[in-house]
Amino acid sequence: MKFDLETVLFFSLAVLAVGSAIMMITRRSPISSALFLILNFFTVSGLYLLLKAQFIAIIQVLVYMGAIMVLFLFVIMLLNLHDEGKLKEKYTYRKLTAVLLSIFLFCLLGFTVYFGFEGKFKVMSEKALTMGTAESLGVELFSNYSFPFELASFLLLAAIVGAVVLAKKKFE
């Protein structure tokens, strides 16, 4: 394998992404977990840029990091949650089973990927460069996918109403 800039960038981003994901599920404090998840989203956004999907990359920063994770942080701070470490540990065998199961899942996925796609897609399509722009995505979204797009807006409306109803103080 050639060690060009893209490879180096990819490996550093991928290692960072996986590392931050592991840190995220092992930290005791919810705030630290949220921060590592933000780092993970940032690195994945970098991977999108490597894949020439610039619009998706910036939307990732805007939606995931700028809105969703701020909401998570906001709720964690608002509820002033305690660290999980202070709770009494009940199931240690559960953790072991969980880790074994997810390793098994990864082996399953990894084997599928390895035997299914090995050497089939070695280079990126030439269309990838022009495809990731806001323009081409917009054209596609408002022509072929206009119905799912409208449905997504209905989903968001339902989510807004649901969130307001659920979080509102109960009136007696």
Partner 1 sequence: MIDINYYLITSALLFSIGVAGVLIRRNAIIIFMCIELMLNAINLTFVAFSSYLGNINGQIFVFIVMTVAAAEAAVGLAIVIALFRNKEYVNIDEINILKW
Partner 2 sequence: MSDSLVNLIIILSKIAVVQGVLLTAVAYSVYAERRVSAFIQNRIGPNRVGPAGLLQPIVDAVKLLLKEDIVPANANKFIHSLAPSISIIVSLSTFAVIPFGDTITIGDKVIKLQIADVNIGILYFLAMTSLGVYGVTLSGWSSNNKYSLLGGLRSSAQMISYELSMGLAVLAIILMNGSLELDTIVNSQAGWKWNIILQPVGFIIFLVSAFAETNRTPFDLPEAEQELVGGYHTEYSSMKFALFFLAEYANVIVSSAMITTLYLGGWQFPYLQDFGLPPMLVSILQIFTFTAKVTFLVLFFIWVRWTVPRFRYDQLMNLGWKVMLPLGIANLVVTAIVILFMKS
Q: Which does 131 bind (CB under 5 to 8 A by kind): partner 2, partner 1, none?
A: partner 1
- Token pair listed for 153: 């807006």
The greatest distance separating any two alpha carbons of the chain, rounded to the nearest whole angstrom, comes to 69
Q: Among residue numbers 48 through 77, which ones bind partner 2 (CB under 8 A)?
A: 54-55, 58-59, 61-62, 65-67, 70-71, 73-74, 77
Interface residue with partner 2 among 78, 79, 87, 165 (CB under 8 A) is 78
- Opening angle at CA 126, ends 122 and 128, nearest 5: 95
Residue type, 74: F
- Token pair listed for 49: 């840029």
- Told to check if 137 binds partner 2 by CB under 8 A, we report no
Q: Which of 23, 28, 25, 36 is nearest to 81 (CA)?
A: 28
Nearest-approach distance from CB 14 to partner 1, in angstroms: 5
- Residues interacting with partner 2, by CB under 8 A? 29, 31, 35, 38, 54-55, 58-59, 61-62, 65-67, 70-71, 73-74, 77-78, 133-134
